[in-house]
Structure 1
């Protein structure tokens, strides 16, 4: 159990303590968070999904990584790019948005997962899968003065 607590601390440090790779304009402030997605049942037996502060996590648990942004300037910021590395202890969840722009080569190139491939064990290539994703990227066309929002992706503990 202790190893999972250490893993959790490592994940939080990566998510909260590391600024996204690309935050090109100082007018926009960014902050990261990680929430644990839990499923329980209410008194009537209906399934209830909640996002809670992570306590103890184990392989297979689902986390939601988020980046909040805020334009604190008096001017719009155009084509704002936010690039978040995935912590090595997680993989992109299978139900992640298929239009997410991702990298499978350490942030060198980006595309949708269906457009990307990786080196296969036999020396050829194979289609990339969620476990291959190393970075997630968003490009916001324009962030108005005072505008704020949240960018998220789901991940599974390896």
Structure 2
């Protein structure tokens, strides 16, 4: 029997400074009826840094936020670890993350992921989304193309079933404001 799943992952909300990160507690997915499922998410937050070795060769490293002084402009990598511990495939699984207020969206690793610029009301590719801005002093409202600064949420809708016992990683990047 195939089941449909939906999930909202909660990542650590990043405050201005210092940023505190690390492993989130496992989150339980729910079926559309609201019953618990065997699909879980764990989240990890890391700070990306570029270091140079003695020969000047650049190397990208990922560090726990607690291990570095996080400053505006730092790249933050959010990774969600998805695990289906059931004996049944998870069909229609969705995971979504709000963008922390202190972080501006940069990119998502999976080309099939979607974003929202209106707090999860509408979803799509960033290039296809529009933002309505209020006109100034009686001028009409203006619609413009959405940018990375407008992204409020990231969502993954798994087109294929997550096999029993399968583990997957999904991720997105942002920059500290």
Q: List structure 1 runs of 4+ shifted beyond 4 angstroms.
A: 17-20, 95-98
Alpha-carbon shift at residue 27 of structure 1 (Å): 1.4
User: How many angstroms does 1:52 deviate by?
Assistant: 1.1
Q: TM-score, normalised by structure 1?
A: 0.85
Flag the structure with higher helix content: 1
In the superposition, the TM-score normalised over structure 2's length comes to 0.76
Which residue of structure 2 lines up, in the alignment, with residue 142 of structure 1? 161
Distance in structure 2 (CA, Å) of the matches to 1:104 and 1:80: 21
Q: For the aligned residues, what is the CA RMSD?
A: 2.2
The total of aligned residue pairs comes to 148
2:102 maps to 89
Q: What is the Cα deviation at residue 4 of structure 1?
A: 1.6
Q: How does 1:46-125 map to 2 (within 5 A)?
A: 46-54=57-65, 55-93=68-106, 95-96=107-108, 99=111, 100-122=113-135, 123-125=141-143
Gaps of 5+ in 2: 1-15, 32-36, 136-140
Query: CA offsets per residue over residues 81-116 of structure 1, 9 Å max, x none?
Result: 0011111110111x5458330000000110000110
Query: Where does residue 156 of structure 1 map in the other structure?
Result: 175
User: Over alpha carbons, which structure has the higher Rg?
Assistant: 2
Q: Which structure 1 segments of 5+ residues have no match?
A: none
